C-alpha cells in the first residue's frame, strides 16, 4: 500500500479570510428553538448575509380560525408561543371583545394583568437561559429554568396547566384565583428574584458572555422601526416605546412601572432590558 503524503499546497490564513462560507442552519438545529432554516454567508465568525425560510413553522393558524367559533380559537393562540400562552390568549380576546363591544369586569382585567406578567417573566427567563446555554453557560441556564419553574408551578395552580393554559375567555377568564394565591405569589416572587440575582451574577460581568453579546446583532433604532420591532428588541435600540404605556389596555394605566430602554441595540443590551423588565413585571404583580 502506498503511503499517503499530504499535498505541499497549503492555504494561507489571508486566503481563508477572503472567502465566504455558506452554512445551512436548520431546519432542525440543536441551537434553534423552533423549526426554521437559515442560510448563512459567513466570514470567520461574522455573518455577512442570511436568508430565512420560515415556512416550516406554518401551521395554518389563520385558516383554522376562519372555520372556528371565537372561543374555539383560544387553544390555537396558546401555541403561538408556548412559554407565555396567557399573553397570546389576552391579545386575541381583546380583539374579539373590541369587535363585539364587550366590557370585561375590572377584577378579570387585573387577573389578566397578573397572569400575563408572570408569563412575561417566564418568557424572558427562557430567552436568557437559552442564550446563556448556547454560549456554554449551563449553570446560568439552570438558574433561569429554576426560576421559571417557580412561576409555572404558580400558573398551574391557577390554570390547571403549565403551558397550554387556555385560561382566558372572551369577556373574562375561565375561573377566579385560588384561595391563598396572594401569599403564595409573594413567596414565589421572592424565590424568583433570588434565582435571577444568582443567574445575573454569572452573566453580566462574565467576560466570555460580554464578549459574545456586546456589539453582536446590532440593530439601529431606524432599522428596528422599519422592521416593525416591538418589545425588548425595539427598546434595546433606545426607542422608548411600550404599548402598555403608549396605548394602555386592561388596567395598565392604573399601575406604576418603568420602561427600561437600551442604547446600543445589541444582544447585551437586549439581555439588560429583559433583566430589568422582569423586575418591573414583578413590581406590577405586587401592586
CA distance 140 to 82: 22
Is the Cβ–Cβ distance between 174 and 168 less than 8 Å? yes
**DSSP category for residue 56:** G
Pairing of β 37-43 and β 46-53 = antiparallel
What pLDDT is stored for residue 111 in this prediction? Answer: 96
Q: Which residues contact 229 (CB under 8 A, 6 or more apart)?
A: 219, 237
| Tens place of pLDDT per residue across the chain (287 aa) | 555 555 555 555 555 556 788 988 888 887 777 788 999 999 888 888 899 888 888 888 889 999 999 999 999 998 888 888 999 999 999 999 999 999 999 999 999 999 999 999 999 999 999 999 989 899 999 999 999 999 999 999 999 888 889 999 999 999 999 999 999 999 999 999 999 999 999 999 999 999 999 999 899 999 999 999 999 999 999 999 999 999 999 999 999 999 999 999 999 999 999 999 999 999 999 98
Q: Which residues contact 164 (CB under 8 A, 6 or more apart)?
A: 75, 78, 79, 82, 85
Q: Residue 209 in 3-state DSSP?
A: helix
What pLDDT is stored for residue 19 in this prediction? Answer: 78
CA distance 5 to 152: 60
For the chain, which residues make up each domain, given as ranges?
21-53
Cis preceding linkage at 27, omega within 30:
yes
Q: In what order do the strands lie in the sheet with 21-25?
A: 21-25, 37-43, 46-53
| Cell numbers for 32 | 434553534
Q: What are phi and psi of 259, to 5 degrees?
A: -110, 105
List % helix, strand, coil for the chain (3-state, nearest 5): 55, 10, 35
What pLDDT is stored for residue 230 in this prediction? Answer: 92
Region of residue 134 (phi > 0: left; psi between -120 and 50: alpha; otherwise: beta): alpha
Please give the angle made by the CA atoms of 114, 276 and 238, to the nearest 5 degrees. 115
What pLDDT is stored for residue 220 in this prediction? Answer: 94
CA distance 79 to 216: 30
Beta strands in 139-253 (DSSP E): 168-169, 172-173
Question: Which CA distances in Å does 220 have to 41, 47, 237, 239?
Answer: 21, 17, 6, 10
H or E element at residue 53: strand 46-53
Which residues, in sequence order, are bridge partners of residue 38? 25, 52
Amino acid at each position: 500500500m502506498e503511503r499517503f503524503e499530504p499535498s505541499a499546497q497549503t492555504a494561507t490564513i489571508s486566503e481563508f479570510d477572503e472567502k465566504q462560507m455558506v452554512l445551512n442552519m436548520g431546519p432542525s438545529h440543536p441551537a434553534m428553538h423552533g423549526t426554521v432554516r437559515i442560510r448563512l454567508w459567513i466570514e470567520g465568525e461574522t455573518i455577512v448575509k442570511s436568508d430565512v425560510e420560515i415556512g416550516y413553522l406554518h401551521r395554518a393558524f389563520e385558516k383554522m380560525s376562519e372555520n372556528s367559533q371565537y372561543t374555539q380559537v383560544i387553544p390555537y393562540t396558546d401555541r403561538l408561543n408556548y412559554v407565555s400562552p396567557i399573553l397570546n390568549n389576552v391579545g386575541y380576546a381583546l380583539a374579539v371583545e373590541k369587535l363585539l363591544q364587550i366590557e370585561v369586569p375590572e377584577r378579570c382585567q387585573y387577573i389578566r394583568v397578573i397572569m400575563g406578567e408572570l408569563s412575561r417573566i417566564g418568557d424572558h427567563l427562557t430567552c436568557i437561559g437559552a442564550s446563556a446555554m448556547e454560549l456554554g453557560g449551563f449553570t446560568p441556564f439552570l438558574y433561569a429554568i429554576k426560576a421559571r419553574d417557580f412561576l409555572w408551578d404558580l400558573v398551574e395552580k391557577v390554570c390547571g396547566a403549565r403551558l397550554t393554559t387556555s385560561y382566558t375567555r372572551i369577556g373574562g377568564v375561565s375561573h377566579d384565583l385560588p384561595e391563598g394565591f396572594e401569599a403564595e405569589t409573594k413567596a414565589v416572587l421572592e424565590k424568583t428574584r433570588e434565582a435571577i440575582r444568582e443567574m445575573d451574577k454569572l452573566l453580566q460581568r462574565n467576560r466570555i458572555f460580554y464578549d459574545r453579546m456586546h456589539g453582536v446583532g446590532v440593530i439601529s433604532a431606524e432599522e428596528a422601526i422599519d422592521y416593525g420591532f416591538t418589545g425588548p428588541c425595539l427598546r434595546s435600540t433606545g426607542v422608548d416605546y411600550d404599548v402598555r404605556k403608549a396605548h394602555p389596555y386592561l388596567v395598565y394605566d392604573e399601575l406604576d412601572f418603568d420602561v427600561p430602554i437600551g442604547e446600543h441595540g445589541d444582544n447585551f443590551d437586549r439581555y439588560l432590558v429583559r433583566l430589568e423588565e422582569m423586575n418591573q413585571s414583578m413590581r406590577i404583580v405586587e401592586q
